[in-house]
Amino acid sequence: MPAQTNLFLCLTDNYGVLLHDPQSGATASIDAPEAAAVEAALKKTGWRLSDILVTHHHADHTQGIGELKAHHKCRVVAPRNEAARIAHVDETAGEGDTVRVGSLQAHVIDTPGHTAGHISYFFPADKLAFVGDTLFSIGCGRVIEGNAEMMWNSLLKLRDLPDDTQFFCGHEYTAANIRFAKTIEPNNKALAARGEEVARLVAAKTPTIPATIGAEKAENPFLRADNAEVAKLVGLSGSPAWKVFAEIRERKNRF
Amino acid at position 89, single letter: V
What is the contact surface with Zn ion in residues (CB under 5 A)? 58, 133
Amino acid at position 88, single letter: H
If the CB atoms of residues 3 and 119 are measured against Zn ion, the closer one turns out to be 119
| 75 neighbors 52 (Cβ within 8 angstroms) | yes
Distances (CA, A) of 215 to 93, 111, 218, 238: 29, 20, 5, 25
The minimum distance between CB 58 and Zn ion, in angstroms, equals 4
The minimum distance between CB 199 and Zn ion, in angstroms, equals 26
If the CB atoms of residues 59 and 204 are measured against Zn ion, the closer one turns out to be 59
The minimum distance between CB 132 and Zn ion, in angstroms, equals 7
Residues 233, 252: Cα–Cα separation, whole Å: 15
What is the CB neighbour count within 10 angstroms for residue 117? Answer: 23
If the CB atoms of residues 116 and 190 are measured against Zn ion, the closer one turns out to be 116
Active site residues: 56, 58, 60-61, 114, 133, 171
Distances (CA, A) of 230 to 167, 212, 237, 247, 250: 24, 21, 8, 11, 15
The minimum distance between CB 81 and Zn ion, in angstroms, equals 15
Residues 101, 198: Cα–Cα separation, whole Å: 31
The minimum distance between CB 30 and Zn ion, in angstroms, equals 13
If the CB atoms of residues 58 and 159 are measured against Zn ion, the closer one turns out to be 58
DSSP codes joined into one string, 112-147: -SSSTT-EEEEETTTTEEE-TTTEETTEE---SSS-
Strands 128-130 and 91-93: unpaired
Residues 249, 148: Cα–Cα separation, whole Å: 8
If the CB atoms of residues 58 and 249 are measured against Zn ion, the closer one turns out to be 58
